């Protein structure tokens, strides 16, 4: 009996390297909402959700491929993970935007030149795609404040003059949703009206059925090596998989453990972060992956231990004490 997880050939597996992503129902909903906003021609919107729920994975891994299929017509899309500096600098912000857009020339002497460069670049991309819309998705947007949005506002205005539309989607933790109120308080109503017109929540996994769908991702909707037709579960449990072993069969039991270990009375129902599910599954694979056994003996205690090691209990306590949605603060309805 040998552990495939630790075998030399298994070292490059995405699960071992932690470089895989599963298309979940929350991501599907997130992309559907974005597609709706874009088709409506909204100048901006925001998506908020607790940490570790898979927002960044959705932005980096799925948005480009899946959104293009859902939107009517081609859409140039740029993603930008905002990196907060000690002091805001328009120069740095524009350079970061240019870098994120993969522009060849990111440096410049003046902000005007950089803004023009970015405007022309977005306009040309839209023109080359055969439309007049450009989408900018800003991840970690909870760190952005008025000055950053002012820069984006200028960019949007310049593109408007040229006849192109820029949609800015701010994706971040729940603090993003507070920006709306913050802009109203400091008379930046026009920023709120532009970038916070639409809002939506990025939720976690709710219920055993959704969890089963996620685990089916390991069982069926995954493949490695590419083109081999071998799912992740089949790769790590070859004989057991042939004998009918599936991770998704443990979904109900796993969900009950998440419920037990989670907050006693969650405000909006239990939402399990995707990261804890993934780390639990990875722990199980790490422990039980074997090319010899026909039926891995994974009992409830093993599942509890695996969940416990992900720090689920501590994390959920922290989330429990933090304000989860803007509704509770009397903000605009999401």
Partner 1 sequence: MIALPKKAVRPYESLLFLTWRFLSLNRPELSAFSASVNLSLYDSLHLDLICGRAGARSIELTSLRRLLGLTKLQLRQGTLDWSTLRKQVLFDFRYCLQCLEYGYHAAIFQLSTIKTCPEHHSELATGCPNCGRCTSTIMTRDFSADAFTCRRCGKVMVDLGVLIDPPAISFGAEVRIIANWYRWASDLPRSESHLLADSKDERQDVHSGEWAALELVGGRRAPDSVGLDRKALVGGSVRYVRCGIRTTSESRRSIGGQSHSRAEREMRGFFLYGLYTRHIEKQIPQTRKLIRVLLQDRGNRWASSINGVKLETIIHAFAVFLFRYTLEGWGGLRDGYRGKHALASSQTRFVEAFHLKNSRCLHPCEQGDLHCSEAERDWLFDHFVMEGLRGLFEEATSRAREMAKTGCYFLVDLSQWESRALPYTLGKFNAKSELEFWSVSFASDQELYRSDLQEMSLPISLPVIFRKERLSVEINA
Residue ranges that bind partner 1, judged by CB under 8 A: 101-105, 107-109, 113, 116-117, 120-121, 123-125, 127-128, 162-163
For 139, the 3-state DSSP assignment is strand
Is the CB of residue 31 less than 8 Å from the CB of residue 309?
no
For the bound state, the minimum distance from the C-beta of residue 123 to partner 1, rounded and expressed in Å, comes to 5
Residues 6+ positions from 122 with CB-CB distance below 8 Å: 76, 78, 101, 134, 136, 155, 159, 164, 166
Give the residue with the Cβ less far from partner 1, 94 or 192: 94
> Least distance from C-beta 109 to partner 1, angstroms?
7
Q: What is the arrangement of strands in the sheet containing 77-81, beginning at the earlier edge strand?
A: 77-81, 133-139, 165-172, 44-48, 198-201
- Rounded Cα distance between 94 and 108, Å, is 10
- Name the nearest CA neighbour of 38 among 57, 63, 1: 63
Our CB check for partner 1 shows the closer of 132 and 175 to be: 132
Length of the chain: 334
11/112 with CB nearer partner 1? 112
Nearest distance, CB of residue 119 and partner 1, angstroms: 9
Q: Which is nearer to partner 1, 108 or 207 (CB)?
A: 108
Q: How far is the CB of 101 from partner 1 (least distance, A)?
A: 7
Which CB sits closer to partner 1, 7 or 124?
124
Residue among 105 and 190 whose Cβ is closer to partner 1: 105
Q: In whole angstroms, how close is the CB of 125 to partner 1 at the nearest point? A: 8
- Quote the tokens at residue 168: 């800015």
**5 contact partners, CB below 8 Å, separation of at least 6:** 16, 236, 285, 286, 289
CB closer to partner 1 out of 101 and 271 = 101
Closest approach of partner 1 to the CB of residue 102, in Å = 5
Read off the DSSP letter of residue 197: S
Nearest to 252 by CA among 220, 209, 216: 209
Which residue, 101 or 289, has its beta carbon nearer to partner 1?
Answer: 101
Q: At what angle are helices 300-309 and 251-261 packed, to 10 degrees?
A: 50
- Residue 66 or 117: the one with the smaller Cβ distance to partner 1 is 117
Two structure tokens written together for 209: 């059925």
Minimum CB separation from partner 1 for residue 40, in Å? 25
Query: Which 3 state secondary structure label does DSSP give 237?
Result: coil
Task: Please give the Cα distance from 231 to 217 (Å, whole number).
Answer: 9
Sign of CA dihedral 27, 32, 35, 40: negative
Q: How far is the CB of 95 from partner 1 (least distance, A)?
A: 12
Q: Minimum distance from CB of 74 to partner 1 (Å)?
A: 12
| Parallel/antiparallel/unpaired status of strands 44-48 and 198-201 | parallel
Q: Which residue has the tokens 């990111």?
A: 106
């Amino acid at each position: 009996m040998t552990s495939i997880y630790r075998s030399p050939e298994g070292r490059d597996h995405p699960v071992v390297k932690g470089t895989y992503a599963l298309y979940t129902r929350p991501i599907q909903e997130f992309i559907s909402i974005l597609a709706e906003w874009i088709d409506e021609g909204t100048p901006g919107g925001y998506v908020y959700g607790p940490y570790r729920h898979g927002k960044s994975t959705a932005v980096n891994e799925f948005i480009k491929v899946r959104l293009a299929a859902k939107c009517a017509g081609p859409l140039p899309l740029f993603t930008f993970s905002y990196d907060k500096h000690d002091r805001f600098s328009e120069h740095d912000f524009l350079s970061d935007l240019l870098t994120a857009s993969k522009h060849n020339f990111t440096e410049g002497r003046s902000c005007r030149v950089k803004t023009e460069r970015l405007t022309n670049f977005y306009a040309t991309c839209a023109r080359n795609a055969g439309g007049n819309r450009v989408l900018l998705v800003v991840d970690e947007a909870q760190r952005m404040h008025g000055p950053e949005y002012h820069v984006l506002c200028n960019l949007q205005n310049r593109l408007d003059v040229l006849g192109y539309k820029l949609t800015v989607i701010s994706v971040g933790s729940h603090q993003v949703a507070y920006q709306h109120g913050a802009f109203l308080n400091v008379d930046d109503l026009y920023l709120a009206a532009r970038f916070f017109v639409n809002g939506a929540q990025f939720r976690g996994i709710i219920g055993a059925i959704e969890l089963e769908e996620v685990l089916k991702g390991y069982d069926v909707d995954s493949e490695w090596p590419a083109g081999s037709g071998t799912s992740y579960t089949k790769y790590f449990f070859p004989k057991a998989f042939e004998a009918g072993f599936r991770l998704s069969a443990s979904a109900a039991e796993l969900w009950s453990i998440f419920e037990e270990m989670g907050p006693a009375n969650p405000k909006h129902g239990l939402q399990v972060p995707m990261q804890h599910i993934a780390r639990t599954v990875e722990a199980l694979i790490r422990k039980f992956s074997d090319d010899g056994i026909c039926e891995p003996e994974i009992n409830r205690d093993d599942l509890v231990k695996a969940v416990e090691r992900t720090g689920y209990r501590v994390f959920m306590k922290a989330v429990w004490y933090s304000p989860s949605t803007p509704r509770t603060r009397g903000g605009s309805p999401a």
